[in-house]
Amino acid sequence: MARSISYITGSQLLSLRRHPSIAVVDVRDDERSYDGHISGSLHYASDTFSDNISNLIQAVKGKDTLVFHCALSQVRGPTCARRLVNYLEENKEDTGIKNIMVLERGFNGWEASGRPVCRCTNIPCKGELSP
């Protein structure tokens, strides 16, 4: 079954923030460390993403929706989302992942809209998406 990638707005993501089956995947590279991040998000830098897909799949066990983003969600976020879709189709793994999405306007749009940003240095971030 071919998986498609859909888009989610920041408002939609914020309203779903407490749903335990959603994981936010930040694929920005170095800028995560100085720009902050969406609280509770996982970090899988785009430059090493392909090498770490199996680690991501382990980290999101029990999640059925993954929301990818980069700074603007125009290149890196959609590219990594597509890489995951291709990996899942090639390996025919039953990971339980049903929805692969990209955050519209990325982290920059999220922050510019006044949504919560975490500036912790914990890896992984243990925070929650909270206003």
70 is catalytic: yes
Q: Within a domain: residue 100?
A: yes
Kindly state the tokens that stand for 88.
Answer: 């899942």
Number of domains in the chain: 1
Q: Would you put residue 79 in left (φ > 0), alpha (ψ -120 to 50) or beta?
A: alpha
Kindly state the tokens that stand for 8.
Answer: 């989610």
Rounded to whole angstroms, how far apart are CA atoms 26 and 46? 9
Rounded to whole angstroms, how far apart are CA atoms 91 and 112? 38
Q: Within a domain: residue 54?
A: yes
Q: Within a domain: residue 125?
A: no
| Virtual torsion, Cα 1, 95, 58, 119, nearest 10 deg | 70
Query: Where residue 11 sits, what CATH number does that domain have?
Result: 3.40.250.10
Low-confidence ranges of the chain (pLDDT < 70): 1-2, 128-131
Q: Which of 70, 80, 118, 125 is catalytic?
A: 70
Q: Within a domain: residue 79?
A: yes
Q: Within a domain: residue 130?
A: no
Q: Within a domain: residue 123?
A: no
Per residue in 73-104, pLDDT (tens digit) is 999 999 999 999 999 999 987 899 999 999 99
pLDDT for res 37: 92
For residue 25, what are the domain limits? 5-118
Q: Within a domain: residue 110?
A: yes
Q: Strand 22-26 to strand 42-43: parallel, antiparallel, or no bridges (unpaired)?
A: parallel
Q: Within a domain: residue 26?
A: yes
The helix or strand, by DSSP H or E, that contains position 10, with its residue range, turns out to be helix 10-15
